[in-house]
Amino acid sequence: MNKLDYNHIHDFIDLDYKKCINIQKSLINQISLIPLSKEVNVVAGVDLSFYKEFGLAIIVIIDKNFNELEVKYHYQEIEFPYIPGLLAFRELPVFLNAWKKVTIRPDIVFFDGHGIAHPRKMGIATHASFFIEIPTIGIAKSKLYGNFDEPGNNKGDYSYIYDKKDKKIGCVIRTREKTKPVFVSPGNFITIDEARYFALKFSTRYKLPEPTRLAHYYSQKIKNEIFPRRNANGKI
């Protein structure tokens, strides 16, 4: 089967803080929160984790009945430092290398991270969308940016997240009764309410929607297989 490719929107060489900010600002006007144009039958979940100087990207493909179709991963050394608001520049290179190994094209990609609920609307889900040209959703465990009211305690209860201009940028959703909510925002090529709908549609009995929950599960499993475990004294 053919493996997926991506558009080379920009490179990741010799980046500094100013260059990264300029790249983010140059992409903002290209965000298109339009309704989906096709039925959703296959989705992907993406999780990125780190071990020392290495980054690991996991991509899990499932169908609408929650059947696992494919799991791909890639790991490599990470050179870009941890800078809040610029995490996509740290994570995208390893994600894109994992993406090239995927053979089943999903209809939506869920990212463990934010979409437009970001100071410059450029969370990992949004930034990645320009490379892969597929509707994306950000699923985060905590708020990065914006204001919201706490949703009700029942599964499915939600409230909107607003930016400083009182514009909607996402939702806070209770995916499990009496459990902390998740922060859902569209990445690109999908509306806020569609992002909310699919986050709930793919939620089961867990807090995280199944695409990113599975990706996180495989992230921990594969990381333990790739990198040596530490003993009780912290030594390898």
Q: How many angstroms separate the CA atoms of 148 and 236, rounded? A: 44
Query: Is 112 known to sit in a ligand binding site?
Result: yes
Q: How many angstroms separate the CA atoms of 32 and 125, rounded? A: 13
Q: Are 123 and 88 in contact (CB under 8 A)?
A: yes
Q: How many angstroms separate the CA atoms of 118 and 89, rounded? A: 14
Query: Is 47 known to sit in a ligand binding site?
Result: yes
Cβ neighbours of residue 213 under 8 Å, at least 6 residues apart? Answer: 45, 206, 207
Q: How many angstroms separate the CA atoms of 131 and 88, rounded? A: 12
Q: Which two tokens stand for residue 30?
A: 């290209």
Annotated binding site for Mg(2+): 47, 112
Give the residue ranges of the annotated binding site. 47, 112
